[in-house]
Amino acid sequence: MNHDPQDDANAAEQPADSEASTLHHRRIRSFVTRAGRVSPGQQRAIDELGPRFVVPYSPELADWDAVFGRNAPRVLEIGFGMGATTAEIAAARPGDDFIGVEVHEPGVGALLKLIGEQQLGNVRILQHDAVEVLEHMIAPASLDGVHIYFPDPWHKARHHKRRLIQPKFVSLLVSRVKPGGYLHLATDWQNYAEQMLEVLSADAELENAADGYAPRPEYRPVTKFERRGLRLGHGVWDLLFRRK
């Protein structure tokens, strides 16, 4: 994405991390809320398709079989951005259902647009913090897989606390995955890749499905942004772990 959330974090840092906000039990979030510009096409998709494909956040377990109208393997994607990868994977795997979680409104509109254009019946969207979605709306041991692609790297050391992949979050994530289910992560930030490998390897409930980093599974398409990075000689690291 063009926008660098770390800039917003610099601006938001004072209130978010101050002692006063700690007293109000505000947790450190992996994103900064920003008012993105929603294009007319995205807005139309939100108005027309939102009621069918967006699941409103509510702090209680959702009946996902009822939401999808079937019982199929279920994959949660956290931070789908503009949703291009989500749509491509959902189209390639029609037998699986995908719950995409994203806080950024233009991204929600963009994915809804793709859902409409490609007639995807197996995607639902939640526009909310994934941490709260996992805590409240997803039952323990209910997911077949989790996708987290290119999460914000929070590259400045003082922002590392905002990174999603930390031990506590990973235990929450793993608790929602069925035994044998998978976590698939990718990043183009080497230092974050190393953190991911360390944190996932240290979780007693997980086992690495590869030897260290994994080859990119075929179902994950190479994104435009990733292709450009690869051309510039940047690396991309995939990680594939299974719940024991």
Ligand X SMILES: C[S@@+](CC[C@H](N)C(=O)[O-])C[C@H]1O[C@@H](n2cnc3c(N)ncnc32)[C@H](O)[C@@H]1O
Binding mask 71-100 for ligand X (x = CB under 6 A): -------xxxx---x---------------
In angstroms, the Cα distances linking 114 to 94, 111, 119, 149, 214 are 15, 5, 8, 18, 29
Residue of 124, 85, 78, 86 whose CA lies nearest to 104? 78
Looking only at residues 185 through 244 of this chain, which bind ligand X when binding is defined by CB under 6 A?
Answer: 223
Indicate which single residue of 131, 165, 177, 199 sits in contact with ligand X (rule: CB under 6 A). 131
Indicate which single residue of 106, 109, 151, 181 sits in contact with ligand X (rule: CB under 6 A). 151
Pick 96 or 132: Cβ nearer ligand X: 132
User: Residue 211: CA atoms inside 13 Å, Cβ hemisphere, count?
Assistant: 0
Contact 117/84 with Cβ under 8 angstroms?
no
Binding mask 20-39 for ligand X (x = CB under 6 A): ----------xx--------
Distance CA 123, CA 92 (A): 12
Distance CA 111, CA 124 (A): 10
User: Is 238 a residue of the active site?
Assistant: no
Residue of 164, 177, 82, 175 whose CA lies nearest to 130? 164
* Of 65, 144, 152, 211, catalytic: 152
Indicate which single residue of 45, 74, 98, 104 sits in contact with ligand X (rule: CB under 6 A). 104
Pick 194 or 207: Cβ nearer ligand X: 194
Pick 69 or 145: Cβ nearer ligand X: 145
Distance CA 159, CA 10 (A): 9
Give me the residues that bind ligand X (CB under 6 A), please.
1, 30-31, 78-81, 85, 101-104, 107, 129-131, 149-152, 164, 223
